[in-house]
Each structure stands twice: as C-alpha cells, then as structure tokens.
Chain A
Amino acid sequence: MNDKILLQINNIGVVYSDVIQVLKGVSLSVPENRIISLLGSNGAGKSTTLKAISGLLKPENGKVTEGSILYDGTEIHNLPPETITRQGIIQVLEGRQPFKYLTIEENLRVGTATRFGKPYKEDLDLVYAYFPVLVKRRKTLAGYCSGGELQMLVIGRALMAHPKLLLLDEPSLGLAPMVVQEIFRIIRRINEEQETTIVLVEQNANMALQIAHYGYVMENGKIVMEGDAAELRENPDVKEFYLGMGATGIAKSYQDVKAYKRRKRWL
C-alpha cells in the first residue's frame, strides 16, 4: 500500500451563523485507500468536520474560517457541494436520509447526479451485488424500508457516484448489532475492492476500530488523540471511555460515575 495523502485537513476552524465556533484547529490526514475513523461523543464536531470536507456546511450557514482542506493537493474548503462531489467526494449523511417517496432503485439513480448522462446499469448491478437485500425491494418506496435496508441503500447510493473518498457519518446509528456487523464487513470490502478511501465517523468505537486502519478521537471541536487502530484499541483511556471497559477496576469517586454515564452513551 502506498502512503499518498488523499485528504489533508490543516488546523481548520468552523463557525456557524458567523458566531458559533464549533471546530477549533482540527487537523487530520487521510492516506489513499485507507479507512480512517473519527470517534467522539455527541456534539464533539464529527459531523461538522465531514460537512467541512463535503461542502455541506454552506447550506447550514457554516463556514471554514481558518486553516485549509487539501484534496489531492488542491484547496477545496468552502467550495459548493456541486463542485466537491464532482471531484469524487461523497458524504453519506447521519440518520440515513433516504428519499422517502422514491423507490429504492430511484434512490440509487439519484447517485448518478455527478455523472449525468453516463450509463449506470453496471453500477446498479455492483450495488445490488454488495447489498443483495435491496434487489427484492427495488420497486418499494424507501419510506417503507427498515433501518438496516436504508443504511445499505444510502451507502449504495453513494457508491453510484464512483466516490474516491467516501465520508460515512455514523452508519451504525440505531441498528441491531448483527446488522451493524454485516454493514461494517461490506464497508471494509468496498474499501478493498473498489479502492475507496473512507472516513468513518462513529460513536461505536468498538466496531469502527475493527475495520479502520487509523483513528482520531474528537472532543469539543478538537482532536484529542490519534493512533493506529490497534494501538487505540489497547489505549487505556479509549478502553475506559469508548470501549466500555474499566482499565483499572478501582472505583474513582464521582469521576467514575461520570465515566459510567459516558460509557452508557457510547455503547
């Protein structure tokens, strides 16, 4: 595997509505063909980081005010999403966001927007090969499908765009553990077989670190920790807060209660 950096985020600050500072100096780099995981609790700024990359801050009145984002060596921060998606960066939004009144297949066809006019039949076949459950739901309105089917749908929809860099925002959210495992296996396969570079945002650190190569931990709009996935899995802080295992086993007064509460949020 080469170590070419596909995406480089340098010290960015992000502000919503001109006053709400959410990211404060976030830096991270994403090597080509790898899976990078971005972990952290609710409100840490994970989704904001992804939106800064994909250009989706703009419709929410957010802006990168400091630093830079380099994709393949060129600056892309604050470009409109129509431009960024056409360079091969596709974000799969948190909470699945299907087109409820479109059928599964029509949903997939929206994924061809960046390649309008090109044939897409083979891409449909590819998506159905990764997610066979979608085949028999082809003509069903997405609004009537289950959470697991929808998560597969939105990942498949993104694949229709031939992404070079895929940004996944909490694909495990609200899904049964069996379904999560299946989806994560497929994410790994997509990374290997399609050579798609992936940034995987998760609160489920346990699952994410099983398929990621490298991980970052975010808190309050800052990166507080980073390392190889295997290293992070063994890190005592990560174990305690993110993987739900007490490192020492000794009760530590109120701090421990706090940790317990946090742990409950994680898993």
Chain B
Amino acid sequence: MDFFIQLLVNGISIGFLYGLSAMGFVMIYKASSVLNFAHGELLAIGAFLFLALVTWAELPVAAAFILTLAGTFVFGFIVERLFLRPLIGEPLIEIIMLTVGLAAMFKGALLLIWGGNLYTYPDLLPEFLAWNWGVVQVPPVYVSAIFMGIVFLLLFGLFFKYSSQGIYMRSVADNQPAALSLGVHVRRVFALSWAIAALVAGISGIILGLINGINVHELSSIGLKVFPVVILGGLDSISGAIIGGIIIGLLETMTGGYLSPSLRDVIPYIALVAILLVRPYGLFGLVEIERV
C-alpha cells in the first residue's frame, strides 16, 4: 500500500510536468494548427539554460529560475519571428517540417556546447520541502514539481479566462477570420503562443532535470511524450492536456513500479496506439458545437 501511494505521488508529480509542457504544445496548435516537433528541444533548452545560470554564472537559484523563465519566453518569441513568421500562409506541412528541422538544429547546438553527457544540478532544493507522511516519503523535487505544476496551471488558467490578451489568444484559436476582422494582431498571438510554449516547456525541463539529470537526448525524448499526452487529452484542449499528462505520468510510474522498468518508457506509446484505435479525437477533445 505504501509503495502504491509512493508511486501515486511520483506519478502525479511527473504527470503535472508532462501536462504543463503539453499545454505549451497545445497552445501553438490551437493558435496556428502547427504541430511543434521541436517541443522536446524546448524542454532541453530550458534545462540547460538553468544549468548554465546556476553552475557557470553561479547565480542564486531564485534569480537563475526567473532569468530562465524570461530567457525561454524571449527565445520562443525570437524563434517565431525568425523561422515561423516568414512561412505564415504557406502549406501547413511545410511549417511542420520546419519544426522538425528546428528540432535537429537546437539539438545540434546543445550537443555542441554540452555534448551528450549527463549533468546534474547542484543540491538546490531545501530539505524542508520534503513531505513525510509516516512511511511515505516525498522528496523535495516531487513536491516542487507538484507545486510548480499547480501554480503555473492556475496562472495560465486565469490568464486565458480573464485577461484581455488571453481572450484574444482564444479568439484566434476559435475563429481566425473573425479575430482579424476585429483587429486582433494574429501574428502577435502566434508569437505569444511560441513564447509561452517555450516558457512552460522550460519549467518542465528544469524540474525533470532535477529528477532525472540533464541530458540532451533524454530531455528531448521526454518532450516527445507530449504526443501521447495530447492525443490522450485531445489536441485542442488545454485542460485535457493536463489530465492527459497526469494519466501518462501515472501509467509510467505504475508500470515501472509493478511490471518492469524497461516497459516504463514504452507504455505511453502503447497507450497512444490503443487510444487512437478507440477514440481518434482523444478522450477530452472539444465537443464540436453543432448548433450555429
């Protein structure tokens, strides 16, 4: 039983990170119908930027974290400006292929600087973050994963629900010609969706790096898990992405704990195929409103 609870907590905390990063992926898709194959590399970029700031620049953790958030946000913005914007209006498949190219380029750049080695962050998290419920021990990283997950999901939830900028972003996803007719800056919305995607991917990258260590290949393949997550959650649903993330996180830790650790990384993709066979639009995809 204790083992089960332990796995449950681990699964949920990893799941929050998957969900958070999938939210960024879904945002780009909702705004511009682009599937971003460079999502895993965005995770890795966040993790390595943070690594550079805490080890090379030797900044305090909080400062490094905030700088990483700012850095990834700006990075997403620049990527959209430089690479995506010139292709607006071109066939979607070309844009999606471009993201495949971006993935290779980012990965190459990271490999050039850090190589394929495994790095670890210095001990950053204070012990008081650990939870102790009798026999169940939750280490500080998992606590901070859950905490970050909840805080950022809440922040973005509020942003999309109440802020004008968030409502403009949703309007573009909903009906682009109508948004244009009201003067919504659609290109700015695309840029913002890339910036936010890079930011949330970066946060997930940092915390996953705390859990598993930081390695280019490892992090970018974790980023690919965004596909099972969003297909489970529905490509166009932000809350679905989070629920999908938690389900995949649980599925992984439970499989790793009870069946075999080597099955752990395969199970999301088995789930992916199974779901596609039964519910091609995902479990939580938007229900099409017919009455219009």
**Which of A90, A93, A161 has the most C-beta atoms of chain B within 10 angstroms of its own C-beta?**
A93
Q: Which residues of A contact B177 (CB under 8 A)?
A: 56, 59, 93, 97
B174 touches A161 (CB 8 A): no
Neighbouring A residues of B260 by C-beta, 8 Å: none
- Across the interface, which residues of A come within 8 angstroms of B180, CB to CB? 56, 59, 81
Q: Any chain A CB within 8 A of the CB of B185?
A: yes
Q: Is the CB of B292 within 8 A of A98?
A: yes
B286 within 8 A of A: yes
Which residues of B sit under 8 angstroms from A81, Cβ to Cβ? 180-181, 183
> Do B181 and A90 have beta carbons less than 8 Å apart?
yes
A106-B167, A110-B167, A144-B291 given; A99·B174 CB < 8 A: yes
Are A90 and B167 touching (Cβ within 8 A)? no
Determine whether the beta carbon of B289 is less than 8 Å from that of A110.
no
Inside 8 A of A157's CB, which chain B residues have their CB?
182
Any chain B CB within 8 A of the CB of A143? yes
Q: With contacts A114-B182, A114-B183 known, is A101 near B168, CB below 8 A? A: no
Contact code string A132-144 (vs B, CB < 8 Å = 1, else 0) = 0000000001011
* B178 contacts A93, C-beta separation under 8 Å: yes
Measured between beta carbons, the chain B residues less than 8 angstroms from A106 are 167, 170-171
Which residues on the A side are within 8 Å of B291 (C-beta)?
143-144
Given that A82-B183, A113-B168 are known contacts, is A99 also in contact with B178, CB under 8 Å in the complex?
yes
Q: In the complex, which residue of chain B has the Cβ closest to the Cβ of A61?
A: B89
Query: Does A238 sit at the interface, judged by CB under 8 A?
Result: no
B176: nearest chain-A partner, CB-CB: A59
Contact (Cβ within 8 A) A98 B183: no
CA distance A33 to B184 in the complex (A): 26
Q: Which of A86, A101, A144, A154 contacts B183 (CB 8 A)?
A: A86
Count residues on chain B whose CB falls below 8 Å from chain A CBs: 24
Q: Report Cα–Cα, A56/B182, bound state, in Å.
A: 10
With contacts defined as CB atoms under 8 Å apart, how many contacts are there between chain A and chain B in the complex? 91
Q: Determine if B164 is an interface residue (Cβ-Cβ < 8 Å).
A: yes
Q: In the bound complex, what is the Cα–Cα distance between A142 and B292 (angstroms)?
A: 9
User: B79 contacts the other chain (Cβ, under 8 Å)?
Assistant: no
- Chain B residue at smallest Cβ distance from A147: B292
B182 in contact with A90 (CB, 8 Å): yes
Does A91 sit at the interface, judged by CB under 8 A? yes
* Contact of A164 with B by CB under 8 A: no
Q: Does B179 contact A (CB under 8 A)?
A: yes
Residues of chain A lying within 8 A (CB to CB) of residue B176: 59
The answer, among A56, A82, A98, A112, for a CB contact under 8 Å with B175, is: A98
CB distance from A8 to the nearest CB of B (A): 22
A96→B177 CA distance, assembly (Å): 11
Bound-state CA distance A158–B170 (Å) is: 17
Q: Which residue of B lies closest to A81 (CB)?
A: B180
From residue B238, how far is it (CB to closest CB) to chain A in Å? 11
Task: Report whether A54 and B181 are in contact in the complex, using a CB–CB cutoff of 8 Å.
Answer: yes
Query: Is the pair B289, A143 in contact by a Cβ cutoff of 8 Å?
Result: yes
B181: chain A residues within 8 A (beta carbon): 54, 56, 81, 85, 90-93, 97
Q: Which residues of A contact B164 (CB under 8 A)?
A: 109, 112, 116-117
Query: Is A261's beta carbon under 8 Å from chain B?
Result: no
**CB contact list, B150-179 vs A, under 8 A:** 164-165, 167-168, 170-171, 174-179
| Contact residues in A for B174 (Cβ distance below 8 Å) | 99-102
Cβ-defined contact, B167 with A141, below 8 A: no
Contacts of A161 in B (CB 8 A): 182-183
A171 interface residue (CB < 8 Å to B): no
C-alpha spacing A106/B89, complex, angstroms: 27
A13, CB-defined interface residue at 8 Å: no
Of the listed residues B179, B289, B292, the one surrounded by the most CB atoms of chain A closer than 10 A to its CB is B292
- For the complex, is A221 an interface residue (Cβ under 8 Å from B)? no
A92 to B186 Cα, complex, angstroms: 17
B175 to chain A, nearest CB (A): 5
Task: Please measure, in the bound complex, the distance between the C-alpha atom of A74 and the C-alpha atom of B52, giving whole angstroms.
Answer: 53
Chain A residues contacting B165 (CB-CB under 8 Å) are: 116
The CA-CA distance from A91 to B165 in the complex, in Å, is 21
Given contacts A59-B177, A91-B181, A114-B182, are A100 and B171 in contact (CB under 8 A)? Answer: no
A150 proximal to B (CB < 8 A):
yes
Chain A positions within 8 Å of B, measured between CB atoms, are 54, 56, 59, 81-82, 85-86, 90-93, 96-102, 106-107, 109-114, 116-117, 141, 143-144, 150, 154, 157-158, 161
Given contacts A101-B170, A110-B168, 14 further A-B contacts (CB under 8 A): A56-B177, A56-B181, A59-B89, A82-B185, A85-B181, A93-B178, A100-B174, A102-B170, A110-B167, A113-B185, A116-B168, A143-B292, A144-B291, A161-B182
Question: Could you list 21 A-B pairs, sorted by A, with CB under 8 Å?
Answer: A59-B89, A59-B177, A81-B183, A85-B181, A85-B182, A90-B181, A92-B181, A93-B178, A96-B292, A97-B178, A98-B175, A99-B174, A109-B167, A110-B178, A111-B182, A116-B165, A143-B292, A154-B178, A157-B182, A161-B182, A161-B183
